[in-house]
Structure 1
């Protein structure tokens, strides 16, 4: 029966596929996913030729043939993606290549896509040639992945652009952002070839989300009154200048890595390793500041004991926090003076509600007589920690200077409710540690003290410590 039906179709010259509505035919072409294969379908029927596709994706087309391929695409497409594989990138000398990229972008702009993606493989060395970025009047989303500097000539506009993603390339943001009055999301991921000493300036009245992944960024200047989410990852210069004006921020993830070289920020033997300011994932949870530091005997004489550490940290405090978490590679050195140096920052002692100190002892150097990690005056510091309610020390070994640190914190925190001490190991000294802790906390009966081992809770409260 089906065979006879087929014979009737051929005899009558009917074509069921071509009889479908135009919108359905366009959907079929779009699902093919390859512009070259979609174009070949025109041999099936003359009616297929010239159909406006909702989107075009060009993959595997040689670079020098791209502009001609775009000339066969009808304008006003919803999506235009251009992916040039490395093996297909047969390029002329650099100057000619730059002019062709500019010409290619102009050809793409003439198609007026709503979404535009350009992924162009680049050189493995820094490329400083300028490529002109034309206007995309209908584009709501643009993705540029190419090792070029995109210059924005006068008069270029992006009136409806909402999302801009830059990967591997640089764009003159000072010239671009004023031409994007509806920009909501800006993502920047720069490679090491561009970023040595680069400044980041983002001024936008409409921006709501900013994501920056960069290395060796020197100065940061952000003015975004509508910004709600900020994600920043960078490697630090000591002389970095940072300014963030974003009063509406709700979610922050700010990370800075300090390179272990001469001139690093520090205090005495202590050097900054990493800093992270993080908003909690759950709404209503506090924002926390995480600081990783280590001892470095080699360069301690070059460090500024007074200002370099505090100044370096305070530059990155772009949002208020109430939790301070310190990860310290002590190598056997005294940490109390350094911790109180950090707590003494104006942005810390008045708002800190929770303090967590994680002690990591990967190697044991030990202190020499009059070691600079243990200035005698730190044990008599007078500090007001009125907001502190909870403290935890993880990796406690029962050294005298560790007990001195606990005494000073408890004395300085009149509203402290709970102290958790996690011992680094379980041995015969555990009972002695508990006895010494009881001697400290019996004068502060309002503070609950818990001592924990890796296997779990050892003593549950201050009263238990006395048994």
Structure 2
């Protein structure tokens, strides 16, 4: 088995230690207990590196086959996985992890190792499988017909696996039969299917994901997928569901009595979705898609008050300036008016760089849910944010906490001129008072005139702000004088905290419930 670049020096060093370093033939490492030696091998970067230690001595020859993990990091060959699985003996422990990351995986080799990994006793109960296949389509973010899409993988039933993550580079995927003959994913709690083309047409995808075939499934993510026109998921265990860019989806049905988090993003290609979502315990709803209350039915909460349990509603990319015939904006308005009470509302507002060709659209939004926390993510392109933010504040009088995050590119989005349309909108601060707002957070503060004007106006609208927290953009170089000006705002009893971001990490809006994996960075 070949060794990745850099592993040769590591093996050479281990060989010197194993031989005593002085040529006397004493196997110092070999004298250690097996469990200690296995813990050493687990620290090597790959299974291939662990296998190379067999050359050290007889003592090492079979140790690597006793490891509880098989790891082939990018870029590995799927052809190496099956021999690694076959080398394990009846005394080898069940695998707790199989991690394979490769490029342009051939179907035959991949099907062979997937089938071998699904064999009884191969995985330990609760084991994890991660398979990442990088293709030219994956690299160019393409999902159209291409040569690599003719590759088709077959997914066997992993009865012992608890976590299964497949990122296939837009290759086809054949699912196991949605019946007793297809087996049961008895222990599966987390499933992530990304960049997949379901060759079955998606007609039984929901059956495979639902009970009784997945009786323990809690977390499900399907991202950037084709081949699913109708999706029905019925599960008594599902707690988190994320559907991200399902090309061609027309109908969605979710019956999940314990679901707490739902994220639907760009699945209906901005067509009017037909959806029935019965999730009485839902707490987090991220809906960044078309919406029509006559076609999309939410069953949230118990009793007469719909959405009684909903804690957070999130929707992104609301245009501040645009054209009045922009249909998706009307969908956003209907979505925001659909839920009367939400604890926290997250919105992302976007500006055009040149406003001269567009109309101010925020006044179309005439109502928001009754909320306590308003979190705004603002892609301003250098424009003033006061008019849009104060409009939203004026229609949610019960707000107690305001979070504002600026998403501008510090080097490109320079502040606009004083004659820009963004400064000519109605100034609601002169006729409106925020009676209960007591906490304000501003992230990625640039220190521009627009930024200081916004903070100054905010304090003139609310005399009860007790806490102000500002974090400067990591490229901003604020002087001491502006900091003094910020600290002097408001009443003497206000607690002001100003931070300078030295980590060069920008605040960004969340895009998924699921954490990133190391393979996401490839």
TM-score, length basis structure 1: 0.54
Q: Which residue of 1 aligns with 2:380?
A: 329
User: Is 2:189 aligned against 1:162?
Assistant: yes
1:123 aligned to 135, 149, 156, which one? 135
Q: Which residue of 1 aligns with 2:94?
A: 77
- 8 Å contact 2:456–2:489 — kept in the other structure? no
- 8 Å contact 1:329–1:362 — kept in the other structure? no
Q: Which residue of 1 aligns with 2:70?
A: 57
* Structure 2: unaligned runs, 5 residues or longer: 1-26, 138-142, 286-310, 333-342, 471-480, 495-522
- 8 Å contact 1:291–1:326 — kept in the other structure? yes
Query: Matches of 1:146 and 1:132 in 2, distance apart?
Result: 11
Query: Matches of 2:237 and 2:257 in 1, distance apart?
Result: 8
What are the within-5 Å matches in structure 2 for residues 332-351 of structure 1?
Answer: 335-336=386-387, 338-343=388-393, 349=396, 351=398
Q: Which residue of 2 aligns with 1:150?
A: 173
Aligned-residue offset at 1:135: 1.0
Query: Matches of 1:51 and 1:398 in 2, distance apart?
Result: 62
User: How many corresponding residue pairs?
Assistant: 371
3-state SS of 2:488 partner: strand
Q: Which residue of 2 aligns with 1:138?
A: 160
Q: Which residue of 2 aligns with 1:300?
A: 358
Query: Matches of 2:492 and 2:315 in 1, distance apart?
Result: 39
Aligned-residue offset at 1:62: 4.2
3-state SS of 1:418 partner: coil
Q: Which residue of 1 aligns with 2:399?
A: 352
Distance 1:409 1:170, change over 3 A: farther
Query: Matches of 2:254 and 2:173 in 1, distance apart?
Result: 20
Q: Which residue of 2 aligns with 1:266?
A: 320
Aligned-residue offset at 1:159: 0.8
3-state SS of 1:154 partner: coil
Aligned-residue offset at 1:139: 1.7
Aligned-residue offset at 1:158: 0.2
Of residues 52-61 and 209-218 in structure 1, the stretch that sits farther from structure 2 once superposed is: 209-218
Q: Which residue of 2 aligns with 1:362?
A: 414
Give the CA RMSD over aligned residues.
Answer: 6.1
Distance 1:37 1:197, change over 3 A: closer
2:111 aligned to 86, 91, 102, which one? 102
1:461 aligned to 466, 477, 491, which one? 491
- 8 Å contact 1:164–1:187 — kept in the other structure? yes
Superimposed CA distance per residue, residues 348-380 of structure 1 (whole angstroms, 9 cap, x where no aligned partner)? x15411346689993233347xx6974669689
- 8 Å contact 1:331–1:365 — kept in the other structure? no
Query: Matches of 2:429 and 2:405 in 1, distance apart?
Result: 20
* Structure 1: unaligned runs, 5 residues or longer: 1-14, 92-96, 259-263, 276-285, 411-415, 424-451
Query: Matches of 2:153 and 2:375 in 1, distance apart?
Result: 45
Query: Matches of 2:80 and 2:322 in 1, distance apart?
Result: 62
2:123 aligned to 105, 113, 116, which one? 113
What are the within-5 Å matches in structure 2 for residues 111-260 of structure 1?
Answer: 111=120, 112-114=122-124, 115-125=127-137, 126=143, 127-129=148-150, 130-147=152-169, 148-152=171-175, 153-155=177-179, 156=182, 157-169=184-196, 174-178=206-210, 179-186=213-220, 190=223, 194=225, 204-209=235-240, 224-227=256-259, 245=279, 247=281, 249=283, 258=317
Query: Matches of 2:268 and 2:356 in 1, distance apart?
Result: 20
Aligned-residue offset at 1:133: 1.2
Of residues 102-111 and 166-175 in structure 1, the stretch that sits farther from structure 2 once superposed is: 166-175
Aligned-residue offset at 1:70: 3.4
Aligned-residue offset at 1:123: 1.5
Superimposed CA distance per residue, residues 41-71 of structure 1 (whole angstroms, 9 cap, x where no aligned partner)? 89838x9879983635263874346445534
3-state SS of 2:208 partner: helix
Aligned-residue offset at 1:134: 1.1
3-state SS of 1:159 partner: coil
3-state SS of 2:417 partner: coil
3-state SS of 1:140 partner: strand
Query: Matches of 1:247 and 1:176 in 2, distance apart?
Result: 23
Aligned-residue offset at 1:257: 5.7
- 8 Å contact 2:314–2:345 — kept in the other structure? no
Query: Matches of 1:404 and 1:42 in 2, distance apart?
Result: 71
Q: Which residue of 2 aligns with 1:32?
A: 41
- 8 Å contact 2:100–2:131 — kept in the other structure? yes
Distance 1:358 1:226, change over 3 A: closer
Query: Matches of 1:174 and 1:392 in 2, distance apart?
Result: 42
Aligned-residue offset at 1:166: 4.1
Distance 1:375 1:268, change over 3 A: farther
TM-score, length basis structure 2: 0.50
Q: Which residue of 1 aligns with 2:465?
A: 418
When Rg is computed on C-alpha atoms for both structures, the one with the higher figure is 1
Query: Matches of 1:245 and 1:17 in 2, distance apart?
Result: 57
Query: Matches of 1:236 and 1:30 in 2, distance apart?
Result: 49
